[in-house]
Amino acid sequence: MLVFVINQNKKPLMPCKPSKARKLLQAGKAKVVRNTPFTIKLLFGSSGYTQPVIAGMDTGSKVVSCAAIANGKVLYQSEIYLRENVSKKMEQRKMYRRNRRGRKTRYRPARFDNRGNSTKGGRLAPSIRSKLEANFQEKRFVESLLPVTGWKVELASFDIHKITNPEVSGVGYQEGNLKGFYNVKAYVLDRDGYTCQHCMGKSKDSRLHCHHIVFRSQKGSDAPENLITLCETCHKALHNGEFKLSGKKSKTKHATEIGILKSQIRKSGWNFAETFGYETKYRREQVLKLLKTHYFDAVAICCRDDQKVEVEDSVFLKRNVPAGDYQQRRGKRSEKKMPTGKLFGLRKFDQVKTEKGIGFIRGKRSSGFFTLCDVFGNMITTSVNIKRNCRRLRAASTTLVQMVQMTHSSPPLKVRGILLSCPETENYKMQEI
């Protein structure tokens, strides 16, 4: 485990050993500026000598991993779990806003046409923009810790046609479902015989609509298999809740998102060397002999084809969370108000050390008994007294960070359906400095 160092001007230097950092702190020549990862700032002038540091990033739609190496040793490795609830939160906010406007400004005219986002060119969906910013945020963070001299980035590419049809090959790519049709709607109408698939034409309504079986707000796609022909009468009845349709979620959602992220990263002006998945796999399996994990992929991205590196035992696991603490009531009609903001000097997502362990504040009670969770939201304790023997380790932010010590021979672990690159719970522990 290394200690990161910055100079008086907040420029990163090469990391040092904990023993050297301890001597600098005891002599009053440095001060602590960050606990996780542990970083000190020099209080005296230094030569600023640095060595070449190569950083690598493995982009993704769910998980982004990053690593940095110098002199054949891994200096930093991390995994960032991105937000998947942005669309849901925005739908919830829209519902609250419309409800409030209906109560307070009853005759307010429509204003949806005078919003800048409605006409802005090249606009990204908020969920995509959140994931794109997470990539750049991790880049800036690594550059604030280490004097990075070069970046290598793996921009994944997916064959979406092969995801939906594994047997496709050769000219089959040119003979998809939409061949001979102007657009998706024309194909769906022809496929369904220009007949409402619910009433089968019994309503005598000649106006036909293409309906999303799984709504876009629920991660449904515009693929033909997610569209169905309905007459206007049945379409209205469906949205009024008079009947339901069953369907499957899109298989290509994350592949599509990665394609968008890939193009946006290339347009950003970031100067990096692009690598490919087969190169990463070869280095990780044949050269480094490492398990398949996200952060080991990032380590392999940094390396050359014949380069051996000394792998670090610690990895920083990160999760992006919303910035605020907005829930004020326990239920829709509850009269019991929940404490928001600071309570006993602590906020939601503050990292604290208590009698029952180290964790992030997830729930607060005015009695002083709080709920703690780990970086992935798994419960540590449902009730711990923070008024006694409690110390705050890290203030709340939009990125939760937890350092774990790894046993590299241990298998990966699944938590909440996510394949984590950490061993079984009893084999890793959180470190406090």
From 144, 170, 150, 185, select the one nearest 7 (Cα to Cα).
Answer: 144
Q: Are 430 and 422 in contact (CB under 8 A)?
A: no
Report, at the CATH architecture level, how domain 54-83+128-158+254-320+401-427 is classified. 2-Layer Sandwich (3.30)
Alpha helix ranges (H) inside 196-273: 232-239, 253-267
Q: Are 229 and 209 in contact (CB under 8 A)?
A: yes
Q: How does 193-211 read in b/e, with b if 16+ C-beta sit within 10 Å?
A: eeebbbeeeeeebeebbbb
Q: What is the CA radius of gyration of the chain?
A: 26
User: What residue segments make up the domains of the chain, in order of their start?
Assistant: 4-42, 54-83+128-158+254-320+401-427, 176-251, 351-397
Q: Are 355 and 384 in contact (CB under 8 A)?
A: yes
Q: What is the pTM of this model?
A: 0.74
Q: What is the dihedral of CA 378, 380, 385, 389, to 10 degrees?
A: -120
Q: What is the dihedral of CA 173, 176, 178, 184, to 10 degrees?
A: -90
- pLDDT 10s per residue in the chain (433 long)? 799 999 999 999 999 999 999 999 999 999 999 988 999 999 998 888 899 999 999 998 899 999 999 998 999 999 999 999 898 888 888 888 888 777 777 677 777 677 776 677 778 888 999 999 999 999 999 999 999 999 999 886 655 555 555 655 554 545 555 555 457 888 888 888 888 888 887 666 778 888 888 777 776 777 777 788 888 888 888 888 888 776 555 566 777 788 888 889 988 889 999 888 888 888 898 888 888 899 999 999 999 888 888 888 889 999 999 887 777 777 767 777 777 888 899 999 999 999 999 999 998 888 999 999 999 989 999 999 999 999 999 999 999 999 888 754 444 443 333 334 333 333 333 333 3
Token pair belonging to 257: 């998102």
In degrees rounded to 5, what are phi and psi of residue 341?
70, -150
Q: Are 337 and 364 in contact (CB under 8 A)?
A: no
Q: How far is CA 200 from CA 186, 196, 226, 245, in A?
A: 18, 5, 19, 15
> Hey, is 316 helix, strand or coil?
strand
Q: Phi-psi bin for 48: left (phi > 0), alpha (psi -120 to 50), beta?
A: left
> Hey, is 211 helix, strand or coil?
strand
